[in-house]
Structure 1
Amino acid sequence: MWPSTTTGRPCASLPPPRILAGGRERVRTLITGGVKSGKSSHALVLAQDFPEPRRFLATAEAFDGEMAERISRHKAERAERFITIEEPLDIQDRLEENMILDCVPLWLNNMFHYGREASIDTTIEKVIAWLPENIIIVTNEIGMGFIPADPLSRRYGDTLGRINARLAAACDRVILMVSGVAVVIKNSVRDNAP
């Protein structure tokens, strides 16, 4: 049982890794790292091993022109390889096997933006209670730098840090991207593939 991100109460217990025919595990992977460190690109490479259909759960919303252009570019890059599902808030209802969830920080930003901060814990508890097989979750490691000056930014950073710790505990494999290099920091998968 893991403590809640805000209340400290225990959350649902984690499901065990599931075994495929032939003894190969289906893997739940968390990829973390700094901005533009190669997280999403590495997730796309790893997901090529997923059986089709592969899905991409996008949490970004186009709040401005630059973000709209970025979203369009990313959609075009993965168009033929993934079915894109856009869900900025209720990610727990859209999780499926053979999926990339990209990304937790934008989802958390949306939850703050739409005044749904009170339901963050419940959503994460539901995500962890049933992590699908063959899922890659992309997040950011924002707590490795400076401490923000304003209370809202500190609350956001603290919340994301606690969510990341819970997701890392729930996943079979955790990869830290550093300057485009994948560093495996947790691996409970038999084949030890990065």
Structure 2
Amino acid sequence: MNELDERYVTVEEAIVDAFFILSSEKEFEKITVSDVVKKSGVVRSTFYNHYENVPALLSAAEDKTIEDIFQLMESFHPKDDHQLCKSYFLAICNYTKENKFLASVLHSPRGDSFLEKAMMMFHKYVATVSQGNAMNINKQQFSYLIAATIGATLGVLHKWTAEACETPAEEIADILTTIFLNGVLPFMEN
């Protein structure tokens, strides 16, 4: 990556990070370009070099959040190992707790479109992962079982964030681990 590319990525990260901060301070619809440039320290023209408007930035922030979650998933390979599963789900819980944007989007009117976008990306991921699937189920069944895992995980995270993450992340990770190991993994092994 050359110096210009690095600067472009750095500026883009500053803009998205500023948006993440702003999203914990006010509703998405009330965030303006002026807010973002002030918080990020970039000039207005630089903002427009990267994003057409705030809705385009919101979409990019959603994409970054989904990519972060998928990076966590990349290191997870389902085995009947309670500690491995708990570590994975604890990482997801900690990411959710630290990323106020994710909690905000889950509870906003955009929540449905965010989940739809996440599921579309997830199906691409499942298609790639299931090509090397050594389990004794077909790709469609595998895709549905993974979708069930994601749906259950998102449902639990939605409830947890609605309750201001009062329950310790370790307890939520235990719940998610139990759901996966007892509710989904046995079907994958059939």
State the TM-score, normalized to the length of structure 1.
0.30
> Whose radius of gyration is greater, 1 or 2?
2
Give the structure with the larger helix fraction: 2
State the TM-score, normalized to the length of structure 2.
0.30
